[in-house]
Amino acid sequence: MTAPTTDAKTSRRMLATLFFCTAMPMGMWGVPLANVFTAYGRGHLVPYVFATTSLAAFISPLFVGALADQKHSPVLLLRWLTAVTSLALLITCGSLAWGWSDVAVLACAQAQALVATPVWSVTSSIVFSQLQDAKLQFGPLRAWATAGWMAGCWIVSFVLKADASLVGGVTAAGLWLVVMTLTWRLPMIPPGEVLQHRTWRQILGLDALELLKHRDHRVVFITAALYCVPLAAFYPYTSRHLHDLGLQKISALISLGQTTEILVMVLLAGVLARVRLKWVFLSGIAICVVRYSFNALGTLPWLLVGTVLHGFAYTLYFITTQIYLEERIDPKWRSRAQALLSLLMSGVGNLIGYLGGGWWFATCTQNGVTDWPRFWWGETALTAAVCVFFALAYRGRAHQT
């Protein structure tokens, strides 16, 4: 891989700032979303609003990823995506405030999801393109994104006091414009492989499916999709569970899961240098089994312990997956590989998780009272099944001939 052309120290500072500022509006809007919609009388739309992101993931990440690899600089694409995301989020907030119909609110949420969903994969590809050693450098940089997410949650809870208000969403829209301005301080990274005459398959990014022909790549991608099914329950239903327990400042409490994310990301390089990749992947999924089991115990202390374990469960699989893609896939496929991961996680996995989780939540709720132990034990069983699948299917380099 070609070394970055910018000063390494300055580049790391800028990339950390980019990650921090990109994640902050995501946390400000995504974490309190369920309670905000409920406060505006649209609680019944919550599973469908989360599903809009999944539907968008089937369309926009691969298309934008293909543009970043074959046509335009990912920095330019990020600039336009963040500008339009800001406008779309303002309109979505307005649709709730102005009492638009359910169909109109969902249409606004879907439009916002289409432009927001590719942002993370494009941002990650920009950061990876500036690194000389992804295994060593990515974890500490990615920790700044987690810090930004936490800061967004704390601002919502402690500064704006907007855990059930649109104020957080409007503020997040403003922060997307801050991210847009940061793109002018980044080098205009060229696309990996400029193609003048592209087929429809290449334009839509569907050529990324070629990556699934490799057995280990296929297992890692499929497991990411399957793992996202139970993981999709974390934000919408942990917040509702905490609300049922009478808690306030819910966004800030949920951000406890990000404290361990930061710890694991800082230590991840050392872990990857000492532990076989399969066991790093597997430990993340296994920890999720444990933390959902704690949630199923139904008391506040155990629910908070389960929330804290989220950082281990998320980072050890998904951040390791991003590093895996950077190290084992041709750099000219960088944006498309990250986009395919986004499609399978946010598209396939989260769509099933949000809609299935909504059905399971309704099944566990009678007369307005939710049987939370039953709900979380169901999610625990599903996560355990994913853990068994990966343990049996993934081989790794040690078993390649």
The confidence score (pLDDT) of residue 6 equals 42
Please tell me the predicted confidence (pLDDT) of residue 139.
Answer: 83
Rounded to an integer, the average pLDDT of 1-12 is 49
Other beta carbons within 10 angstroms of residue 370's beta carbon come to 16
Given a cut of 80, is residue 5 above it in pLDDT? Answer: no
Comparing 55 with 396, the larger pLDDT belongs to 55
Query: Which residues does residue 369 pair with via DSSP β-bridges, in sequence order?
Result: 366
The pLDDT value given to residue 3: 42
Phi and psi for 370 in degrees, rounded to 5? -95, 135
pLDDT digits (tens, 9 = 90+) for 235-253: 788 888 988 888 877 877 8
Which carries the bigger pLDDT value, residue 138 or residue 165? 165
Burial of residue 142 (CB within 10 Å: 0-12, 13-18, 19+) is buried
Tell me what percent of the residues of the chain surpass a pLDDT of 70.
86
Q: Hey, how many other C-beta atoms are within 10 angstroms of the C-beta on 54? A: 24
- At 134, is the pLDDT very low, low, confident or very high (cuts 50, 70, 90)? confident
| pLDDT (0 to 100) of residue 187 | 85
Q: How many angstroms separate the Cα of 401 from the Cα of each of 275, 395, 396?
A: 21, 11, 11
| Tokens 């532990």 belong to residue | 275
The answer to whether residues 5 and 187 touch, using CB atoms and an 8 Å cutoff, is: yes
More confident residue, 120 or 347: 120
* Per-state percent for the chain, helix, strand, coil, to nearest 5: 80, 0, 20
CB-CB contact of 47 with 360 (8 Å): no
**How high is the pLDDT of residue 293?**
96
- Tens digit of each residue's pLDDT (9 = 90 or more) over 368-394: 899 999 999 999 999 999 999 999 998
Q: Is the pLDDT of residue 82 over 80?
A: yes
**Minimum mean pLDDT among 50-59, 101-110, 260-269, 358-367: which range?**
50-59
What is the pLDDT of the chain when averaged over all its residues?
A: 84
Average pLDDT estimate for 197-207:
49
Place of tokens 């089994």: 289
Question: Rounded mean pLDDT of 187-215?
Answer: 60
Using 50, 70 and 90 to split pLDDT, how confident is the model at 151? very high
pLDDT of residue 397: 62
Please write down the long-range contacts of 317-321, taking CB distance under 8 Å and 24 or more positions apart: 317/223, 317/224, 317/227, 317/281, 317/284, 317/285, 318/224, 318/284, 318/345, 319/138, 319/139, 319/142, 319/264, 319/265, 319/268, 320/268, 320/272, 320/277, 320/280, 320/281, 320/284, 321/220, 321/224, 321/281
Mean pLDDT of 310-339: 80
Q: What sign results for the dihedral spanned by CA atoms 244, 147, 172, 83?
A: negative
pLDDT digits (tens, 9 = 90+) for 223-234: 999 999 999 898
For the chain, the distance separating the N- and C-terminal CA atoms, rounded to the nearest angstrom, is: 26
Q: CA-to-CA distance for 190 and 311, rounded, in angstroms?
A: 34
Average pLDDT over residues 347-368: 88
| Per-residue pLDDT at 50 | 83
Q: Are 190 and 339 in contact (CB under 8 A)?
A: no
Query: 130 exposed, middle or buried (CB, 10 Å; 0-12, 13-18, 19+)?
Result: buried
Between the CA of residue 285 and those of 138, 143, 263, 298, 357, what are the distances in Å? Answer: 21, 20, 17, 21, 18
pLDDT above 60 for 8: no
Q: What is the mean pLDDT of residues 201-221?
A: 67
DSSP H or E stretch at residue 370: strand 369-370
**Does the pLDDT value for residue 340 go beyond 70?**
yes
- What length does the chain have? 401
pLDDT digits (tens, 9 = 90+) for 19-60: 999 999 999 998 889 889 989 999 899 888 988 887 887 776
